[in-house]
Amino acid sequence: MEKFHYINGDWVGQDLEKLEVNNPATGDVVGTVPIGGKSETKKAIDAAHKAFPEWSSLTAYERSSYLKKLHSLMLEHEDELAELMTIEMGKPLHESKGEVAYSASFVEWFAEEGKRVYGRTIPPHKEKRMMEVRKQPVGVVGAITPWNFPAAMIARKLAPALAAGCTFVVKPPSATPLTAVRLVELCEEAGIPKGVVNLVTGKSSEVAGELMSNPHVRKITFTGSTEVGKKLMEQSAETVKNISLELGGHAPIIVLDDADIDKAVDGVIASKFRNGGQTCICGNRVYVQEKIYDDFISKFVNKAKELQVGNGLEEGTDIGPMIDKDGYDKVEKHVQNAISQGAECVLGGEGYEENGCYFYRPTILKDVAPGMLIMNEETFGPVAPIQKVSTDDEAIKFANQTPFGLAAYVFSESVRRGNHVVNGLDYGIVGWNDGVPSAAQAPFGGMKQSGIGREGGHEGIEAYLETKYVSIGL
Ligand SMILES: NC(=O)C1=CN([C@@H]2O[C@H](COP(=O)(O)OP(=O)(O)OC[C@H]3O[C@@H](n4cnc5c(N)ncnc54)[C@H](O)[C@@H]3O)[C@@H](O)[C@H]2O)C=CC1
Ligand SMILES: O=C(O)[C@H](O)CS(=O)(=O)O
């Protein structure tokens, strides 16, 4: 499967050196994309800049019709997109199908939200005819996306950007570019005019470097690690780029002693092991109150031990391969560090390598301590460390002891106690008796070092709009 860049409505880059894309479950080469750099990225930005006046002059209803066509095409090609995602990222096929539907829901949501970009008039306080506020599209958007949700992280940016009237240049991750290419092929099939959507693959530092420095790019939207996000913030300063950041997380899960334990176990499993634990909002730390500690762990182990590890294309697989050896090594490091400092491994605790591919079994550690690596660094793998806590306020204190502030979870059947915990949590997303809170109609994003801005909801389109205040004299 040889794929190319999409610049100004043409598929180009045939002459460039190729980057191979590997299936993380088998090691097979599943496709190639060009290794682009500064000059290809500049061409893509120029195309988006040239296309912006016409695209932004369309009505929201006209832009919506293109997005609705794209939405239909994504659902029509759900199986194909899902299989592509699984062979390049590894997640189980049923999760890939879920991601296609999730991605399409952002396109559908913003096809409508674009029609609700309202301005307002302000009652003048002195001799003026009118004071008003208008919203206008920011301009050319540069998007840089991660490998763990190859379709959703692009759709969550492309849909609001186009709905707002912006034009778009995306640099997908080198690990999962084929899904990105297929999405852009569907944009072309939907009739989205040339130059509105552009795609360049290749050296992050060069492609992203041009996006960050080119003055025609008015907005950067990045999803990825906090480490890279900080570098992009520094680079954005030169041209004062408007920047949105969806960064790393280290989600705490609090299970109070009034929780429905079976519901809590299901919720923790859903949060922890989705995408093999490779999501920014996966539970990374589990705090369980002492009265139910042993009962919760026993039920959690009994459920988690049923999870099957293997090739995501095979029926019955619940956890696919790690994306690469680095990802595997980080998980192994966290597990061994915890055990060496006194944690007890009650499930799993090891992985395996097959044909240069890396798999890690669902792992549960109990009696972990706050100072362990796993309780402070994002693990990004299928490992649940459990710490015993006493009071509700102690749980909140431990939960907030992190530079991250993306997602947190609490399981409690008490409105009073659950609400107290929710109010005390310093996180942009809180799941209360819900392990998978994300939805296109809700604002997704973090506080502290988990990012700036929100994606989804009405907030998601605001990120692609500028506010213009107009004062009209008599
Ligand atoms: N808050 C959120 O919504 C999400 C956050 N993430 C976070 O992303 C990380 C996992 O995804 P990865 O792709 O491994 O993240 P990453 O930060 O390594 O890469 C993300 C993107 O940035 C590019 N990139 C890497 N180094 C760069 C540099 N120096 N300059 C410019 N671009 C660069 C990569 O090619 C990729 O396209 C985790 O930390 C996870 O928590 C992942 C998904 C969602
Ligand atoms: O990449 C991620 O972690 C996603 O943002 C999580 S979700 O949106 O699929 O919940």
**Ligand 1 centroid distance, CA of 416 (Å):** 38
> Is the Cβ–Cβ distance between 289 and 395 less than 8 Å?
yes
**CB neighbours (10 Å) of residue 57?**
9
**Ligand 1 centroid distance, CA of 324 (Å):** 14
What pLDDT shows up at residue 473?
A: 87
- CB crowding 198-224: b at 16 or more within 10 Å, else e: bbbbbbeebbbbbbbbbebbbbbbbbb
Task: Report which protein residue has its CA nearest ligand 2's atom 6.
Answer: 279
Give the mean pLDDT of the chain.
97
Pairing status of strand 404-405 against strand 383-389: unpaired
Ligand nearest to the CA of 449: 1
**Ligand 1 centroid distance, CA of 216 (Å):** 23
**Ligand 2 centroid distance, CA of 319 (Å):** 16
Over 90: is that where the pLDDT of 161 sits? yes
- Which among 236, 351, 366, 240 is positioned nearest to 300, based on CA atoms? 366
Ligand nearest to the CA of 96: 2
> Is the Cβ–Cβ distance between 415 and 407 less than 8 Å?
no
What pLDDT shows up at residue 3?
A: 98
Which ipTM value was assigned to this complex? Answer: 0.93
Could you read off the pLDDT of 421-449 as tens digits, one per residue? 999 999 999 999 999 999 999 999 999 99
Confidence of residue 474 (pLDDT cuts 50, 70, 90): confident
**Ligand 2 centroid distance, CA of 290 (Å):** 31
What pLDDT shows up at residue 466?
A: 98
**Candidates 145, 427, 444: which one to mutate for ligand 2, based on the most atoms within 8 Å of Cβ?**
444
Task: Report which protein residue has its CA nearest ligand 2's atom 1.
Answer: 279
Which residues are the active-site residues? Answer: 246, 280
**Distance (Å, rounded) from C-alpha 62 to C-alpha 118?**
17
Alpha helix ranges (H) inside 274-414: 293-304, 325-340, 392-400
**Candidates 144, 148, 225, 454: which one to mutate for ligand 2, based on the most atoms within 8 Å of Cβ?**
148
What pLDDT shows up at residue 396?
A: 98
**Distance (Å, rounded) from C-alpha 182 to C-alpha 151?**
9
Question: Cα 107 vs. chain centroid, distance in angstroms?
Answer: 15
> Is the Cβ–Cβ distance between 407 and 429 less than 8 Å?
yes
- Which among 160, 271, 284, 227 is positioned nearest to 451, based on CA atoms? 227
Confidence of residue 126 (pLDDT cuts 50, 70, 90): confident
Structural domains of the chain sorted by starting position, each given as residue range(s) with its CATH number in brackets? 5-247+450-473 (3.40.605.10), 251-439 (3.40.309.10)
Side-chain-side CA neighbours of residue 51 (13 Å): 26
**Distance (Å, rounded) from C-alpha 227 to C-alpha 241?**
18
Secondary structure (3-state) at 221? strand
**Distance (Å, rounded) from C-alpha 47 to C-alpha 206?**
18
**Ligand 2 centroid distance, CA of 400 (Å):** 21
Could you read off the pLDDT of 244-287 as tens digits, one per residue? 999 999 999 999 999 999 999 999 999 999 999 999 999 999 99
Could you read off the pLDDT of 23-43 as tens digits, one per residue? 999 999 999 999 999 999 999
| Percent of the chain predicted with pLDDT > 90 | 98
**Distance (Å, rounded) from C-alpha 358 to C-alpha 22?**
13
Which atom of ligand 1 has the smallest separation from the CA of 226? 39
> Is the Cβ–Cβ distance between 398 and 376 less than 8 Å?
no
Contacts of residue 445, Cβ cutoff 8 Å, sequence gap at least 6: 246, 406, 428, 429, 451, 452, 453, 454, 455, 459
**Distance (Å, rounded) from C-alpha 164 to C-alpha 186?**
20
Q: CA triplet 441, 431, 275: central angle to 5 degrees?
A: 80
**Distance (Å, rounded) from C-alpha 341 to C-alpha 436?**
31
Q: What is the mean pLDDT of residues 134-148?
A: 98
Over 90: is that where the pLDDT of 398 sits? yes
Identity at 469, one-letter amino acid code: Y
**Candidates 38, 222, 280: which one to mutate for ligand 1, based on the most atoms within 8 Å of Cβ?**
280
**CB neighbours (10 Å) of residue 83?**
15
Ligand 1: which residues within 6 Å by Cβ? 144-148, 153, 171, 173-174, 204-205, 208, 223-225, 228, 231, 246-249, 280, 378, 380, 406, 451
From first CA to last CA, the distance across the chain in angstroms is 64
Task: Report which protein residue has its CA nearest ligand 1's atom 35.
Answer: 173
Which atom of ligand 1 has the smallest separation from the CA of 146? 13
Over 80: is that where the pLDDT of 127 sits? no
Q: What is the mean pLDDT of residues 318-336?
A: 98
Measured in degrees and rounded to the nearest 5, phi and psi for residue 460 equal: -65, -30
**Ligand 1 centroid distance, CA of 473 (Å):** 49
What pLDDT shows up at residue 125?
A: 78
Q: CA triplet 254, 258, 264: central angle to 5 degrees?
A: 50
Which atom of ligand 1 has the smallest separation from the CA of 212? 31
**Token pair of 324, please?**
């690469």
Could you read off the pLDDT of 57-90 as tens digits, one per residue? 999 999 999 999 999 999 999 999 999 999 999 9
Sheet holding 120-122, edge to edge: 120-122, 130-137, 465-472
Ligand nearest to the CA of 428: 1
Question: Cα 168 vs. chain centroid, distance in angstroms?
Answer: 18
| Helix, strand counts (H, E) of the chain | 14, 24
Identity at 107, one-letter amino acid code: V
What pLDDT shows up at residue 105?
A: 98
Contacts of residue 384, Cβ cutoff 8 Å, sequence gap at least 6: 268, 272, 283, 286, 300, 304, 362, 363, 364, 365
Measured in degrees and rounded to the nearest 5, phi and psi for residue 292 equal: -115, 10
CB 149 less than 6 A from any atom of ligand 2: yes
